[in-house]
A and B are shown apart, each in its own frame.
Chain A
Amino acid sequence: DTAVSQTPKYLVTQMGNDKSIKCEQNLGHDTMYWYKQDSKKFLKIMFSYNNKELIINETVPNRFSPKSPDKAHLNLHINSLELGDSAVYFCASSRGLAGGFSYNEQFFGPGTRLTVL
């Protein structure tokens, strides 16, 4: 009955490698997001997708490429990993973009802890 799930939970890799994180939501939501939480716990929006379309890229390097094969999935691919990419990455979803306040609540996945060595 998991609402928003992510895999893997932990990811340890070397600098320069390419890796992907997967996210799935079974809430029937239209909008999905990626957030980055750094070592100081700052939680920052990276991308927003609505109905598989990119809505917002919040000044994220183009080494990060999100892909949404369908409304229920938003994957994050990272090329040429750098030490500074080490963080916890959270996927989230919400009902939609418009239609009133009931659409605003965001549900978070469990997070993926990425460690770049």
Chain B
Amino acid sequence: GENVEQHPSTLSVQEGDSAVIKCTYSDSASNYFPWYKQELGKRPQLIIDIRSNVGEKKDQRIAVTLNKTAKHFSLHITETQPEDSAVYFCAALYQTGANNLFFGTGTRLTVIP
């Protein structure tokens, strides 16, 4: 199966600064890379995703980049706000007859007001 590594495990930034979370994946056949945000006690919610035929995608303050050759992808949050504080998970879709998402280990982001 797929193996996804995520760094850092915790990240603290000042409000207004940028935050970057990085992930690597192992299987070059993976072709879909979503990012989920999970607030305390809540369900994971998709915030942005990127397909393997695209190198970068942006949605307001959030952007994701993908380097297929190096098998890594990153989440960039600019102008961070306290409400961005949560655990963020990257994932890679490994298609072996099922759309199984393999998740990274999560990054706890804290935005300090």
Contact = CB atoms under 8 A, between A and B. Distances in A.
B45 A42 contact: no
A31 B43 CA distance: 18
Of the listed residues A41, A50, A105, A109, the one surrounded by the most CB atoms of chain B closer than 10 A to its CB is: A41
A111 interface: yes
Interface stretch (B20-28, B67-75, B76-84, B98-106): B98-106
A71 to B, nearest CB: 15
B98 A50 contact: yes
A56 B94 CA distance: 12
B43 A110 contact: yes
A97 B97 contact: yes
Assign chain A's interface to a size class.
20 to 34
Contact of A105 (B43, B46, B87, B102): B46
Contact of B99 (A43, A48, A90): A48
Interface string B20-59: 0000000000001010101000111110010100000000
A101 B96 CA distance: 15
A43 B89 contact: yes
Of the listed residues A33, A58, A106, A111, the one surrounded by the most CB atoms of chain B closer than 10 A to its CB is: A106
B96 A105 contact: no
A101 B99 contact: no
B113 interface: no
A111 B103 contact: no
Interface of A: 31, 33, 40-45, 48, 50, 55-56, 58, 90, 94, 97, 101, 103-111
Given A43-B103, A94-B99, A110-B43, 20 more contacts: A41-B87, A43-B44, A43-B106, A45-B101, A45-B103, A48-B99, A48-B100, A50-B98, A55-B98, A56-B100, A58-B1, A97-B95, A103-B99, A104-B99, A105-B34, A106-B46, A106-B101, A107-B46, A108-B44, A110-B42
